[in-house]
């Protein structure tokens, strides 16, 4: 396998691992003696908190130590932590194990994506394919977890991806050559971005990523139970729920390929703005849908949720020099995902108290706020020049 393909697979594994619990939560709740799945959801909060907070040191070490070395930590750390989750027997044990897994999962975005982009002539296309890989990991989480829970039990849903991480890590160590130097010490291209513009872009990036992450966490962690409520035809079949979710995510993932191509051709603001605006429209449409109409509605929602994801990495690639991209990405992820992890903690109690219709309305309002933030981006992107 090429380095690029291994990094794409790492992205898929990263998102797959984080969403196994959300798909298997009903089965785990029964095994652990919980009457309702909502009461178990807060135990996964630590994973998403660490997914944000641990991005800060991950990005720092990626720039100053080396991205290849950090990716090896990612593969083997994910493998070990997933196997530990599979061996837990109490909610507290699972919460701790998921938190450890979240710390290792934090490595990929600030390290793996800058590693992908450091020599890419068309970064938008690379970001699009990488986004597709990550979202196919989400689709696989739904499909694979649903099948494994039904036929082998929820523990296998964590154990098998853990073994896969070890195998990919061993191949990565063998296939990817050692770096000649840490990214922070290399000569790279210079980007002429004045301080005011840089501050403005980083502020917009942090706001849009935080709001987008809240929507992403609400949808990807809640869609399985939302489908159970709105589609009575397969409400009690975890394999059928997983199959439908896999279809929704696979279709929605194609949006990232389209967005990646558009990013290479047009200023970021011109492409980003209509996508987040349409998010709000689609959520309003989905509020009261049911049955197969709801499947169509949620597919449209996820097309625009996934379609907005590449812009975070595109903005960093367009406005930040490669020598410090991992650190900038780490700071951005620590703030945005650290805050948005509250959505995972609040999902179960919020739905229990107010219902899914109110949750969908809340996501529509968040999408409107994101649209306002995107309006503050510069109309034009900076052009790279040769480093002096």
pLDDT digits (tens, 9 = 90+) for 185-233: 665 555 556 677 778 888 888 888 888 888 888 887 787 778 887 877 6
Task: Read off the pLDDT band of 173 (50, 70, 90).
Answer: very high
Task: Read off the pLDDT band of 158 (50, 70, 90).
Answer: very high
Structure confidence by residue, pLDDT tens digits, 361-386? 999 999 999 999 999 888 877 655 43
Give the model's pLDDT for residue 252: 87
**DSSP type of residue 110:** I
Give the model's pLDDT for residue 127: 87
Structure confidence by residue, pLDDT tens digits, 96-147? 999 999 999 999 988 988 888 877 778 888 888 888 888 788 778 777 888 8
Comparison of pLDDT for 239 and 112, the residue scoring more? 112
Query: By residue range, what is the domain housing residue 371?
Result: 3-175+190-385
For position 327, which CATH number holds? 1.20.1250.20
Give the model's pLDDT for residue 386: 38
Any domain includes 301: yes
Tell me how crowded residue 192 is: count the other CB atoms within 10 A of its CB: 9
Mean pLDDT of all residues belonging to the chain:
84
Comparison of pLDDT for 99 and 330, the residue scoring more? 99
Any domain includes 367: yes
Give the model's pLDDT for residue 106: 92
Any domain includes 180: no
Chain-centroid distance, C-alpha 61: 21
Any domain includes 185: no
Pick from 143, 360, 363: nearest CA to 250: 143
Any domain includes 298: yes
How is residue 303 written in tokens? 């097309």
Tell which phi-psi region holds residue 381, choosing left (phi > 0), alpha (psi between -120 and 50) or beta. Answer: beta
DSSP labels, 158-209:
HHHHHHHHHHHHHHHHHHSPPPSS-GGGS---EE---HHHHHHHHHHHHHHH
Any domain includes 165: yes
- Whether the per-residue pLDDT at 239 is higher than 80: the answer is no
Any domain includes 320: yes
Domain count, the chain: 1
Any domain includes 41: yes
Give the model's pLDDT for residue 388: 31
Comparison of pLDDT for 248 and 141, the residue scoring more? 248
Pick from 206, 204, 207, 227: nearest CA to 302: 227
Q: Which of 28-37, 328-337, 346-355 has the highest mean pLDDT?
A: 28-37
Mean pLDDT computed over 162-178: 93
Mean pLDDT computed over 20-41: 84
């Amino acid at each position: 396998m090429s380095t690029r393909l291994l990094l794409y697979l790492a992205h898929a594994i990263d998102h797959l691992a984080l969403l196994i619990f959300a798909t298997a939560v009903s089965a785990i709740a029964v095994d652990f003696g919980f009457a309702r799945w909502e009461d178990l959801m807060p135990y996964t909060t630590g994973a998403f908190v660490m997914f944000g907070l641990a991005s800060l040191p991950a990005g720092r070490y990626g720039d100053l130590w080396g991205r290849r070395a950090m990716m090896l930590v990612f593969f083997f750390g994910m493998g070990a932590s997933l196997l530990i989750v599979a061996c837990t027997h109490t909610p507290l044990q699972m919460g701790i194990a998921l938190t450890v897994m979240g710390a290792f999962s934090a490595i990929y975005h600030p390290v793996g994506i800058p590693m992908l982009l450091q020599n890419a002539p068309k970064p938008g296309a690379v970001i699009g394919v990488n986004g597709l890989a990550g979202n196919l990991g989400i689709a696989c989480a739904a499909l694979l977890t649903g099948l494994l829970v039904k036929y082998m039990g929820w523990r296998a849903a964590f154990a098998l991806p853990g073994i896969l991480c070890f195998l990919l890590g061993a191949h990565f160590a063998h296939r990817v050559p050692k770096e000649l130097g840490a990214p922070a010490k290399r000569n790279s291209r210079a980007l002429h971005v004045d301080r005011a513009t840089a501050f403005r872009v980083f502020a917009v990036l942090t706001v849009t990523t935080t709001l987008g992450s809240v929507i992403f966490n609400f949808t990807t962690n809640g869609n399985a139970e939302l489908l159970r409520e709105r589609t009575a035809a397969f409400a009690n079949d975890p394999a059928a729920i997983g199959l439908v979710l896999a279809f929704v995510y696979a279709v929605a993932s194609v949006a990232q390929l389209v967005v990646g191509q558009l990013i290479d051709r047009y200023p970021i603001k011109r492409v980003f703005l209509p996508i987040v605006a349409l998010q709000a429209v689609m959520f309003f449409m989905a509020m009261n849908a049911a049955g197969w109409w709801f499947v169509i509605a949620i597919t449209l929602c996820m097309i625009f949720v996934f379609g907005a994801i590449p812009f975070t990495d595109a903005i960093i690639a367009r406005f930040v020099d490669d020598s410090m991209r991992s650190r900038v990405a780490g700071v951005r992820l620590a703030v945005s995902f650290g805050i948005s992890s509250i959505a995972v903690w609040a999902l179960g109690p919020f739905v229990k108290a107010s219902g899914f219709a109110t949750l969908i309305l809340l996501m529509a309002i968040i999408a409107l706020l994101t649209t306002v933030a995107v309006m503050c981006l510069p109309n034009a992107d900076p052009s790279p020049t040769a480093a002096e």
